[in-house]
């Protein structure tokens, strides 16, 4: 949706024209260079002659405006604003993908006055500044680029499509209506025919409904944030319980050193898995035991710290062994080296050497991960969103206790402001800088 008329409170976009590669680096069939800014059409014409019809690819011979040197024969496109990704005039050059071709075209662009190389995320930043998307949707773009699993892709796409923005906008509209009612009550408080008690009761009722909706959204177990980061599973047990061997078997590669010498693993080793679209991070840790070795003791201390932070701990028990002390961490007991047992015990029994029980273990991990992460349907996906909504909830909680009308109106104003921060409608210059620093160049 085009929000150019609504404004974002973040200032006007700069007047220079940006350029950057929009495709990956390295040898490829095609390399795409993107331009955005008021001179995008003029720059395209300087390189390739008369502008093609809008939004149509046309074959052009590109020449360096400085000396007329032929650069490439490429497909070009012109996209007049404001109905573009950035809200500005844009252009694209679809070059042959050789490194020398791309480097020469970028150098030619850099010599054109008013044209400069884009920084990380600067095209998307312009889209936010020009009202083509809000800050939450821009974060969805970043998450979509970083998505490694199907669940992360679905969640990022929902946010880019405005699922969070629409809901927060509805909450904000309701809070603004409540604030208008509170301000009206203050303005007409001295009128004899105004039912102050009735107005306050109606206001508190609407604010309570809004407060309950926010509380329900926040009570989601942080599924959205956790899906972005992954479901962390720590393998824990005594030395030689089979942790490293099991990690390698689940990862299907030699990620960890396997040795018969106890205490080989000293530091945590992480392996990322994609389980039916869910990101799962397996962590191999040092064996848990008493030791006088200072280095091993430090490894065990780090293991304990990882266990305390884990979403799930696989408590590995070898034949004749006992379950490790995990200090109350969420645990799933797993009997290892089951091929050495004549009668495997009930529950999850696995053999990394033969593959016995590994499908059942993966199914169990998938079920736990889905219960903890969902399938990409979370509304809140970042700590920034949660912080703003929790502050809004705090103002509404304070409002529900009643009090002087002036203080009630102030709490509503602060609640509206906190909701506005989610989409970037108020005071977010520092958030913009942090967000777009993590984008790739060309997006």
- Domain spans of the chain? 17-133, 141-220+380-423, 227-373
| pLDDT bucket at 433, cuts 50 / 70 / 90 | low
| Alpha helix stretches (DSSP H) within 219-355 | 223-229, 243-251, 294-309
pLDDT for 422 beyond 80: yes
Handedness of CA 203, 208, 213, 214 (dihedral sign): positive
| Alpha helix stretches (DSSP H) within 33-162 | 40-48, 99-110, 122-129, 135-146, 150-160
pLDDT for 135 beyond 70: yes
Rounded distance between C-alpha atoms, residue 396 and residue 63, angstroms? 62
Q: In the chain, what percentage of residues exceed pLDDT 70?
A: 88
| pLDDT bucket at 13, cuts 50 / 70 / 90 | very low
Mean pLDDT of 231-240: 91
**From the CB of residue 229, how many other CB atoms can be counted at a distance below 10 Å?**
13
What per-residue confidence (pLDDT) applies to 4? Answer: 36
Greater confidence, 430 or 161? 161
Greater confidence, 239 or 440? 239
In this structure, what are the phi and psi dihedrals at residue 293, rounded to the nearest 5 degrees? -75, 120
Burial of 410 (0-12, 13-18, 19+ CB in 10 A): middle
What per-residue confidence (pLDDT) applies to 5? Answer: 35
What's the token pair of residue 299? 């490894």
* Edge-first strand listing for the sheet containing 278-284: 269-275, 278-284, 231-236, 312-317, 331-335, 348-349
Burial of 160 (0-12, 13-18, 19+ CB in 10 A): buried
What's the token pair of residue 34? 């993107």
How many residues appear in the chain? 443
| pLDDT bucket at 8, cuts 50 / 70 / 90 | very low
Give domain 17-133's CATH superfamily. Probable tRNA modification gtpase trme; domain 1 (3.30.1360.120)
What's the token pair of residue 159? 């946010």
User: How does pLDDT run across 178-204, given as a tens digit for each residue?
Assistant: 888 787 766 655 554 444 555 567 788
User: How does pLDDT run across 32-51, given as a tens digit for each residue?
Assistant: 999 999 999 999 999 999 99
User: How does pLDDT run across 243-264, given as a tens digit for each residue?
Assistant: 888 989 998 877 655 555 555 5
Domain 227-373 has CATH 3.40.50.12780: no
User: How does pLDDT run across 68-116, given as a tens digit for each residue?
Assistant: 999 999 999 999 999 999 999 999 999 999 999 999 999 999 999 999 9
What per-residue confidence (pLDDT) applies to 340? Answer: 87
Greater confidence, 22 or 440? 22
What's the token pair of residue 136? 């939450």
What per-residue confidence (pLDDT) applies to 6? Answer: 36
Q: Tell me the average pLDDT of the chain.
A: 86
User: How does pLDDT run across 278-305, given as a tens digit for each residue?
Assistant: 999 999 988 888 777 788 788 888 888 9
Of 17, 441, 375, which Cα lies nearest the Cα of 223? 375
| pLDDT bucket at 21, cuts 50 / 70 / 90 | very high
Contact 39, 29 (CB under 8 A): no
Looking at domain 141-220+380-423, which of 1.20.120.430, 3.40.50.300, 3.90.380.10, 3.40.50.150 is its CATH number? Answer: 1.20.120.430
pLDDT for 394 beyond 80: yes
3-class state of residue 187 by DSSP: helix
Scan for tokens 């850099």, then name that residue: 110
* DSSP characters over 376-406: S--S--SHHHHHHHHHHHHHHHHHHT---HH
What per-residue confidence (pLDDT) applies to 417? Answer: 93
- 326-335 — which CB contacts under 8 Å span 24+ positions? 326/236, 329/234, 332/364, 332/368, 334/246, 334/361
User: How does pLDDT run across 159-171, given as a tens digit for each residue?
Assistant: 999 999 999 999 9
Name the β-bridge partners of 45: none
What per-residue confidence (pLDDT) applies to 36? Answer: 97
Provide CB contacts within 8 A for 168, sequence distance 6+.
136, 389, 419, 422, 423
| pLDDT bucket at 265, cuts 50 / 70 / 90 | low
Any idea what the Cα angle at residue 131 is, between residues 130 and 133, rounded to 5°? Answer: 120
Scan for tokens 């390295």, then name that residue: 26
What per-residue confidence (pLDDT) applies to 439? Answer: 72
What per-residue confidence (pLDDT) applies to 366? Answer: 94
């Amino acid at each position: 949706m085009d929000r150019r008329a609504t404004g974002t409170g973040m200032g006007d976009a700069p007047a220079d024209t940006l350029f950057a590669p929009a495709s990956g680096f390295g040898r490829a069939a095609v390399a795409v260079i993107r331009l955005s800014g008021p001179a995008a059409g003029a720059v395209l014409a300087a390189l390739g002659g008369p502008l093609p019809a809008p939004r149509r690819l046309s074959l052009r011979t590109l020449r360096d405006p400085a000396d007329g040197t032929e650069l490439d024969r490429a497909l070009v496109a012109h996209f007049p604003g404001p109905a573009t990704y950035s809200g500005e005039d844009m252009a694209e050059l679809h070059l042959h993908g050789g490194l020398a071709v791309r480097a020469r075209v970028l150098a030619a662009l850099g010599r054109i006055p008013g044209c400069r190389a884009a920084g990380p995320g600067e095209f998307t930043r312009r889209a936010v500044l020009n009202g083509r998307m809000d800050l939450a949707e821009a974060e969805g773009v970043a998450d979509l680029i970083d998505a490694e699993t199907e669940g992360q892709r679905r969640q990022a796409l929902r946010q880019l499509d405005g699922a969070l923005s629409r809901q927060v906008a509805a909450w904000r509209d309701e809070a603004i209506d409540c604030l208008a009612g509170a301000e009206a009550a203050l303005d007409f408080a001295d009128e004899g025919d105004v039912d102050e008690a009735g107005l306050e009761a109606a206001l508190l009722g609407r604010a309570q409904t809004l407060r309950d909706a926010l509380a329900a959204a926040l009570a989601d177990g942080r599924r959205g944030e956790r899906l972005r980061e992954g479901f962390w599973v720590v393998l824990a047990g005594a030395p030689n319980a089979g942790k490293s061997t099991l990690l390698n078997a689940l990862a299907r590669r030699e990620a960890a050193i396997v040795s018969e010498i106890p205490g080989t693993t000293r530091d945590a080793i992480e392996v990322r898995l994609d389980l039916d679209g869910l990101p799962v991070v397996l962590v191999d840790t040092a064996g848990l035991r008493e030791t006088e070795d200072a280095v091993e003791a430090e490894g065990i201390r780090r293991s304990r710290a990882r266990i305390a932070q884990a979403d799930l701990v696989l408590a590995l028990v070898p034949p004749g062994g006992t379950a490790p002390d995990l200090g109350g961490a969420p645990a799933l007991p797993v009997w290892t080296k089951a091929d050495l047992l004549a009668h495997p015990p009930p529950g999850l029994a696995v053999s990394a050497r033969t593959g016995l029980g590994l499908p059942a273990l993966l199914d169990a991990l998938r079920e736990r991960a889905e219960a903890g992460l969902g399938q990409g349907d979370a509304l809140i996906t970042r700590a920034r969103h949660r912080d703003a909504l929790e502050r809004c909830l705090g103002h509404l909680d304070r409002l529900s206790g009643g009090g002087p009308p002036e203080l009630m109106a102030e709490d509503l104003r602060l609640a509206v402001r906190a909701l506005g921060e989610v989409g970037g409608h108020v005071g977010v210059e520092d958030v913009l800088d942090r967000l777009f620093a993590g984008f790739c160049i060309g997006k």
